[in-house]
Structures are given as structure tokens and as C-alpha cells.
Amino acid sequence: MRFWPLSRRRTDLSKTTGRRRLIATLPLAGLLLMAPAGAALAQDAAGQSILIGYLTRQEDPRTPASFLEPVATDEGLQGARLALADNNSTGMFLNQSYRLVEQILPQDGDIAAGLKALADEGVRFVVADLPGDALLAIADRPEARSMLLFNARAPDDALRNEQCRANILHTAASRRMLADALAQYLAWKKWTGWSLLTGRDPGDALYADAVRRAAKRFGGRIVAEKGWTFDTGNRRTDTGVTTIQSDIPLATQGPDYDVLVVADEAGNFGDYLDGRTWHPRPVAGTQGLTATAWSRVNEQWGGTQLQSRFEKLADRWMLPRDYAAWLAVRSVGEAAARTGGAGFDDLVAYLHSPDFELAGFKGEALSFRKWDGQMRQPILIAGPRMLVSVSPQEGFLHPVTPLDTLGDDAPESKCRFNR
């Protein structure tokens, strides 16, 4: 288990797909027998069995600019698998068992068909490791009406506002949560003059929107804004370094500021900035001093155990997408353990209730906001090698919980599914 060669990981995926097909041909039998997936489940066949779907599309792995970072071909999925193991360890004592039904579609696969396949198998909790548009498309399908979807990936603020859906809970942090977390820390540091450098991807513009909003909320001043217009070469080419060395001072030239805030979600150029900027100032945002839901640099609050369990399972470190998927699957496990054999509707009601509390290795209980289904959680302010801070920062007060100073609070939410 310690080391999984890439080829074996692929084999495992195809095996899972094979099993799924087999079960799909016998949907009723699968449901009635609760399809034991292993010896541990078989022993518990008399107890409660809970299926959790995992829906995603294959894609080219993200290639980090830094060679120190792992290239993950199974981002998200491994987090769900770890949480499944955690759920089953607990379930063993409660006569509950969990099975993850992995629907990994090809790159151009039909998401709606994937959802239907899960529904046909009796799955009602689905971890959606999907971009925002694909998530919305499945959330409005007829099958999804009797399902609960976990958005374990899309950071889009619109999904928590105008486009919110009652059948979605968000375990991924929103862009506004990340930007607010960073802004609070910068305010605490009194680094209030920001220069904003925005990449060319659509997500980068949305991240920049969240940064502008956070500046207004927490007293930041955006003294300059620029778009990144250069091409960054391959990370292994020698000439790339030379070009970058001359490009970056140009790209960051302008009025002085306290901190350069970069919006580069895909990591196209942000990692190249530090040490090359026109002004000798720190870099923050999507790179440098990064606001993130999870990072390898964090081992506070028992995080050592989560990191080490994950690394044993996945043979790489845990990424924010893995963490969001872990939270989603653990949320189902936590709700099922607390409600002891309750049906789907009661489980969903419990997840939405103030009684629901999940320990997520961040020093306090995580729960879902009732107005938009977002999981409230502390956000790490992580450097490339060390944990720098955790937001919310001391002094940013809130009548209910300081966690709600991050992202959309009830009065400002544009989500209306509760009416």
C-alpha cells in the first residue's frame, strides 16, 4: 500500500469501472444485497449500507511549475477514498458500511449519463468533482431531485449566490472565502496597498473579482491592476528562465505597493513571480502567500494524522481538491453515525442542521451555512514551505461565528433556495 506504481493505479480504476458495470446490469439485486465490495462489508450486510457516488471526468493532470510538487493523476478521488476508509472504520462499530461508486467518465463523457448511472445504482449522495457549469447541468437533472450533491471542486461564487441549488452542499471553499481569508491576514499585517496581477483564464478574472471585493471589506487598496500577457515556456527549458527573468520585472512595473496579489488559479505563471518582481515586495494570492483550504505545510490540530494516512494511501501529498472530497464523504459518514440508521431525508436534514459538526483538522468544527450550503471552515495562509497563518484573524468579529467573516454571510447572500 505504501507505494502504488502508476500502472497499478490505472488497473485499479478500470477494475472499479468493471465492477460498476456488473452491478449496473443487476441494479435491483445490487441494491437489495447492498453489493458487498469486500470482506469487511460482507460482515456487516445486516446493517446499514450507504452508497456514495463520485462523479468526475478524466482530464490531463495539472503540471505544477515547481518540480517539488507532485503531478497528481487522481486529484480529488484519493481524498474520497481516504474518507471512505475513515467512514468504514467508524462504521465497523456501528454496523454501518459505506461504498464509493466511482464514475470516472472519459474527457468528453456525458455527465448527465454518468449521473443517471449512479441513480440507477441507487446512489443518492454524489461527490461532484466537476467544474461549475457541469455541476449545474447535473444539479437540474430529474434524477438529482432526490439526490444530494457535494460540490468538491468548483470555487465559483455564483454557485453560492444567484445560481445556488438546494440539492448542493459545497465542501470546496469559494473564491470569496479564499480572498477574504487573505485580505484579513494582509490587514492584520497592515500590508494594505495591493497590486493585482490577473492571468488570462476565466477563473483568474473571477478570483480577481473576489480580491477586489475583499479589499473593500477589509480595508485593502488596489493601487495598480495588470493582466498577465506573457507566455511562460515549458518548465524544463533553459531559455524559459531567461525570458521569465526579463518578463516579470516588466509585468510588475508600476506604482509601489505592499504586496503583489496574483490571480493565477491554474499556476501558469504565479510561481515564477517571487524573487523576480520589479519592487522588492512579497507575492500573495494563488501563489506565494496562498489562501487555501488545505496544504501539505499544515500539521496543526492533528493534521499530521490526516497527512500521513493520505500519503500512505495515495503515495503523494494531499491537495485542496482531495481535502474537499474528503470533507464531502466524511460529512455523509458523520451524519450517518450521528443519526444511526436514518433514511436519506433525515440524513440530509441533519447535514443542514446546526447539530452537524465535522472535525476537519482545522482546530474547530466545520458545518454548513443554511443560506447557501457552503461549508464554513478556517482557511490556511500557507507559504510554499511553511504554514504562515490561519484565517479568520483575531479581531474580525461576527455575532455568530468568526468563520462567517469569510465568504458570503447571510445578509449579503443572493441565494434564495430557502424560500
Partner 1 sequence: MRSLLCTMLFLAAPALIAEPVLAETIFVSNEKDNQIAVVDGDSLQITNKINVGRRPRGITLSGDGTQLYVCAGDDNRVDVVDIASGKVIHSLPSGPDPELFVLSPDGNRLYVANEDDNMVTIIDIPSRKAIGNIQVGVEPEGMGISPDGKILVNTSETTNMAHFIDTEKRAVVGNVLVDSRPRVARFSDDGKHVWVSSEIGGTVSVIDAGTRKVVKKIRFEVTGVRREAIQAVGIQMTRDGKRAFVALGPANRIAEIDTESFEVKRYFLVGQRVWNLAFSPDEKRLYTTNGISNDLSVIDLERNKVIKSIAVGGAPWGVVVKP
From candidates 1, 93, 236, 385, binder to partner 1 by CB under 8 A:
93
Q: CB nearer to partner 1: give 94 or 349.
A: 94
Candidate segments 59-67, 127-135, 399-407, 411-419, binder of partner 1 by CB under 8 A:
399-407
Extract the C-alpha cell encoding 340.
444511526
Do 185 and 150 contact (CB within 8 A), yes or no? no
Burial environment of residue 47 by CB neighbours within 10 A (0 to 12, 13 to 18, 19 or more) = middle
Extract the C-alpha cell encoding 290.
496562498
Do 397 and 311 contact (CB within 8 A), yes or no? no
Extract the C-alpha cell encoding 88.
468504514
Does 86 participate in binding partner 1 (rule CB under 8 A)? yes
From candidates 209, 225, 346, 364, binder to partner 1 by CB under 8 A:
364
DSSP one-letter code for 391: E
Does 357 participate in binding partner 1 (rule CB under 8 A)? yes
What would the x/- binding string for partner 1 be over residues 184 to 203, using CB under 8 A? --------------------
CB of 93 to partner 1, least distance (A): 4
Does 40 participate in binding partner 1 (rule CB under 8 A)? no
Candidate segments 20-28, 53-61, 227-235, 356-364, binder of partner 1 by CB under 8 A:
356-364
Cα angle for residues 7, 10, 16 (degrees, 5° grid): 145
From candidates 9, 141, 338, 414, binder to partner 1 by CB under 8 A:
338
Q: CB nearer to partner 1: give 137 or 337.
A: 337
Candidate segments 109-117, 185-193, 267-275, 333-341, binder of partner 1 by CB under 8 A:
333-341
Extract the C-alpha cell encoding 73.
493523476
Q: Can you list the positions of beta strands (E) in 190-308?
A: 193-198, 221-227, 259-263, 283-285, 289-292
Amino acid at site 162: E
Does 359 participate in binding partner 1 (rule CB under 8 A)? yes
- Counting residues that bind partner 1 (by CB under 8 A) gives 21
Does 305 participate in binding partner 1 (rule CB under 8 A)? yes
Do 211 and 196 contact (CB within 8 A), yes or no? yes
Does 381 participate in binding partner 1 (rule CB under 8 A)? no
Burial environment of residue 108 by CB neighbours within 10 A (0 to 12, 13 to 18, 19 or more) = exposed
Does 242 participate in binding partner 1 (rule CB under 8 A)? no
Per DSSP, what are the bridge partners of residue 136?
none
Task: Catalog residues that contact partner 1 under the rule CB under 8 A.
Answer: 86, 89-90, 93-94, 302, 305, 308-309, 334, 337-338, 357-359, 363-365, 401-403
